[in-house]
Amino acid sequence: MAAPSLLNWRRVSSFTGPVPRARHGHRAVAIRELMIIFGGGNEGIADELHVYNTATNQWFLPAVRGDIPPGCAAHGFVCDGTRILVFGGMVEYGRYSNELYELQASRWLWKKVKPHPPSSGLPPCPRLGHSFSLYGNKCYLFGGLANESEDSNNNVPRYLNDFYELELQHGSGVVGWSIPVTKGVVPSPRESHTAVIYCKKDSGGPKMYVFGGMCGARLDDLWQLDLETMSWSKPETKGTVPLPRSLHTASVIGNKMYIFGGWVPYKGENTETSPHDCEWRCTSSFSYLNLDTTEWTTLVSDSQEDKKNSRPRPRAGHCAVAIGTRLYFWSGRDGYKKALNSQVCCKDLWYLDTEKPPAPSQVQLIKATTNSFHVKWDEVSTVEGYLLQLSTDLPYQTASSDSSAAPNLQGVRMDPHRQGSNNIIPNSISDTVNSAKTEQTAMKETSVKNKPDFKALTDSNAILYPSLASNASNHNSCVVDMLRKNEGPHSSANVGVLSSCLDVRTVIPETSVSSTVSSTQIMVTQQTIKTESSSTNGAVVKDETSLTTFSTKSEVDEYALPATKISRVETHATTTPFFKETPSNPVATMKGGERQWCDVGIFKNNTALVSQFYLLPKGKQSISKVGNADVPDYSLLKKQDLVPGTGYRFRVAAINGCGIGPFSKISEFKTCIPGFPGAPSAVRISKNVEGIHLSWEPPTSPSGNILEYSAYLAIRTSQIQDNPNQLVFMRIYCGLKTSCIVTAGQLANAHIDYTSRPAIVFRISAKNEKGYGPATQVRWLQGNNKKAPLN
């Protein structure tokens, strides 16, 4: 975690959708990127269910149905997969509740559930301010505040320290309540405390940690319950314990429990005032407890002032939810106006990254041309951008080391929640693309998820610096029905759509099985050299007419085809390594053998069109070496174009409020050599009496006459059993026709690839006078069982 002075709070702005009114006493849970909020009160108790999509910065009100619960506040609220449970709280007219409701968020369906009472003892009484925590298939209820009076207008408070266990049924429904027999000293009665459950990765069972609360005075004690032995204990802690508090939040990320806000004592100058007599105020203090070492660390103290509004103001009764390693905070009250007899509620939404993001997946190739790459990588949740870098053995100049070329590391503060047009893929950093070497792409845009934006962006620009992407309008979203043209023998492309559901991507020709075997083998020899990329393909020609070995780890997008005779098909882009581990050109390395990495740019989304890169200032190993999310001023750096027939290594790192995370493993791609045919497109698979019928369309860029096509099938071998990522392909067709029959006998020997959904893998490539171009790889989905194909 960053030091207190380096915390980078972000206030989210420019929402879309119906923003809920400010409130306190509400609760929130997370389902993937969604923050789901229910209940709370401010001028009446709220009964709506609000959802905030953290990826798109949109609020929405789902159309709920079923047994919709009444509005409630200070209730229990937990999430089990896509099922949410609500227990107790204050409902209308000041009544306390002990009712239990279940929400199936996949259908937005509410259901009132009635658990069996305990075999001995009474079920939980109506209450508010209790803790309700989930672990496995059980919820744990502790404490809260009950009303001894039957008249809701005459509140006689009774603080509780009872403990219940609620067993859940799998998927939906509950079994019933039980009252576990516990050992040790039980925590004192309390309400408005917090309870979290944590289990060490390597050893020990789950433990519940109860902190703070209210019992006439605020508390600062920490209690631990071992859920296996049901033993209460009071662990010894180190560090500075947070002030006594209630109505705070506790969130677990990794091995840390983060405590934010709440009501704390305010004694003013009278330090001898007892806790029962002192005044109380809201706080914005922020601490965490290391649950492995039980050591407290203060990140923001109660005495720290915030004159720049750079973090959430003091509050209590707010909600906090962890999405990945990011904490979101919304609303809550920050005071009480006695003259108006009303609460003062916050209306703001904040988030804080608690650690640097993990490394993304390796960079994957979508398409290569003679002077550019279209690349992608898997998304990392809750990040603000990606730093893409490349390295090459090709000699390149370094930028001047004078002060005018030095990067400005003051940077830009990035806000991924600024609303704008975010469905444009990151574009090439070049101002122009060599139209003589790059063919235009025809694409039809389909539905695209709205992605986070950055303050540094224009509405149509996905790179973080407008000067770097003047061609932004020429490139639409990656999620499209497309027909993408392709160039050269080492390219990869999206080349077709099947029934508007299939995105067929090509792979580069891991081997060119052609009459020019000698040149092919030279190329292949380079490809079999050790590589760090799991998505690269090392090709070895064993027999021109029989087997070709590829090392591949499939990266697959899943598609469901309509109910027709066309079988389900998936495709993905793969790439080829071109270098030895030790570069042959000393220009590409620093002293001591470390490789130089040049920035391609910082991108807001997980795809980029690369035709240039930034030159390193003289003597620098890397441009972006900053501990925080500040980035260099690329406008001060010189750029260099990619060149044909050249290999480039790529790596990518994610960026969030804590800075730049670790880099991905390295991928290696090669720009195309002009004149080779593109990849076949529009692949279709249908069943027939002989086996299956495999058909395709000719390349959209044949670069001459097509002399023949070759189709390959991944087959079972002992080599694959020893290394599942090593596929072996057998050529099943060679000829001029754009279709072939794959017999049942051939399919019986097919390898079922389980790197994603089970599938049979085909590859198809075209040959012209210059040789074979890139292959289209197709994954024919087989369902989730291991039956033989065609069954």
* Two tokens, residue 457: 């962006």
Tell me the pLDDT tens digit for each residue of 14-30: 899 999 999 999 999 99
Is the Cβ–Cβ distance between 385 and 456 less than 8 Å?
no
State the residue for tokens 């089990």: 80
Residue 365: its pLDDT value, please? 81
Assess whether pLDDT exceeds 80 at residue 582.
Answer: no
The pLDDT value given to residue 545: 25
Minimum mean pLDDT among 77-86, 337-346, 463-472: which range? 463-472
Cα 652 to its chain centre, rounded Å, is 15
Does the CA dihedral 151-154-158-159 come out positive or negative?
positive
Is a pLDDT exceeding 70 seen at residue 623?
Answer: no
Reply yes or no on whether the pLDDT at 342 is more than 60.
Answer: no
As a whole number, mean pLDDT of residues 456-478 equals 29
- The helices-and-strands tally (H runs, E runs) of the chain is 3, 54
pLDDT at 58: 97
Q: What is the pLDDT of residue 776?
A: 84
Strand 65-66 with 109-113, pairing? parallel
Question: How confident is residue 735, by pLDDT bands cut at 50, 70 and 90?
Answer: very high
How does DSSP assign 1-14, residue by residue? ---GGG--EEE---
Confidence check: pLDDT of 435 > 50: no
Q: Is the pLDDT of residue 236 over 50?
A: yes
The answer, yes or no, to whether residue 338 has pLDDT greater than 70, is no
User: What average pLDDT does this structure show over 185-210?
Assistant: 94
pLDDT at 620: 61
Q: If you average pLDDT over residues 53-68, what whole number do you get?
A: 96
Q: Which residue has the higher pLDDT, 594 or 229?
A: 229
The SS3 assignment for 523 reads helix
Q: Rounded to an integer, what distance in angstroms lies between the CA atom of residue 693 and that of residue 687?
A: 6
CATH of span 684-781: 2.60.40.10
CATH class of the 16-248 domain in this structure: mainly beta
Dist CA 489 CA 509 (whole Å): 7
Residue 721 pLDDT: 59
DSSP state of 492: -
In angstroms, how far is CA 559 from the centroid of its own chain? Answer: 20
In sign, the C-alpha dihedral spanning 667, 671, 673, 675 is: positive
Mean local confidence (pLDDT), 418-439 = 29
Question: From CA 333, how far away is CA 315, in angstroms rounded?
Answer: 5
Q: Which range has the top average pLDDT, 233-247, 302-316, 469-483?
A: 233-247
Contact 344, 334 (CB under 8 A): yes
614: left (phi over 0), alpha (psi -120 to 50) or beta: beta
Beta bridge partners of 437: none
pLDDT of residue 738: 96
Residue 725 has what pLDDT? Answer: 57
Q: Above 80 in pLDDT, residue 478?
A: no
User: Tell me: the pLDDT tens digits for 264-323?
Assistant: 987 644 445 555 556 789 999 999 999 999 999 999 988 877 767 889 999 999 999 999
Q: Say which range, 86-95, 566-575, 696-705, 771-780, has the weakest mean pLDDT.
A: 566-575
- The pLDDT value recorded for residue 636 is 84
Residues in Cβ contact with 149 at an 8 Å cutoff, skipping those fewer than 6 apart: 155, 156
DSSP 329-390: EE--EEEEETTTTEEEE---EEEEE-SPPPPPPPPEEEEE-SS-EEEE----TT-SEEEEEE
Q: What mean pLDDT comes out for the span 326-355?
A: 83
Helix or strand or coil: residue 540? strand
Beta bridge partners of 691: 743
**Residue 415 confidence (pLDDT) above 90:** no
Q: How confident is the model at residue 724 (pLDDT cuts 50, 70, 90)?
A: low
Please compute the mean of the pLDDT values over residues 510-523 and round it to a whole number.
26
Rounded CA-CA distance 44/326 in Å is: 31
Q: Tell me, which fold does domain 356-393+596-616+637-673 have in CATH?
A: Immunoglobulin-like (2.60.40)
SS3 391: strand
Q: Got the DSSP string for 637-703?
A: S-EEE--TT-EEEEEEEEEETTEEEEEPPPEEEEPPPTT-----EEEEEEE-SSEEEEEEEPPS--S
User: What percentage of the chain reaches a pLDDT higher than 70?
Assistant: 67
pLDDT attached to residue 741: 96
Above 60 in pLDDT, residue 549? Answer: no
Model pLDDT, residue 20: 95
Residue 458: the pLDDT is 27
Cα–Cα nearest to 658, from 428, 440, 370, 352:
352
Least confident of 337-346, 634-643, 722-731: 337-346
For the chain, the average pLDDT equals 74
Band of residue 336 on the pLDDT scale cut at 50, 70, 90: low
Q: Percentage helix, strand, coil, to 5, in the chain?
A: 5, 40, 55
pLDDT at 609 over 90: yes
d(CA 713, CA 147): 72
Confidence of residue 367 (pLDDT cuts 50, 70, 90): confident
- Residue located via tokens 């991944």: 714
Q: Convert the pLDDT of each residue in 634-677 to its tens digit.
A: 888 899 999 988 999 999 999 999 999 999 999 888 888 888 88
**Residues 372-399: tens digit of each pLDDT:** 898 989 899 899 999 999 999 876 554 4
User: Do the domains 684-781 and 356-393+596-616+637-673 match in fold?
Assistant: yes
pLDDT confidence bin for 678, thresholds 50/70/90: confident
Average pLDDT over every residue of 130-146 = 97
Going from N- to C-terminal start, the domains of the chain cover 16-248, 356-393+596-616+637-673, 684-781
pLDDT in the model for residue 140: 98
pLDDT of residue 671: 85
Asked if pLDDT for residue 361 goes beyond 50, the answer is yes
Query: What is the greatest pairwise CA distance in the chain?
Result: 95
pLDDT value at 445 more than 60: no
Instruction: Note the pLDDT of residue 543.
Output: 26
Contact criterion met (CB below 8 Å) for 413 and 455: yes
Q: Evaluate if residue 475 carries a pLDDT over 80.
A: no
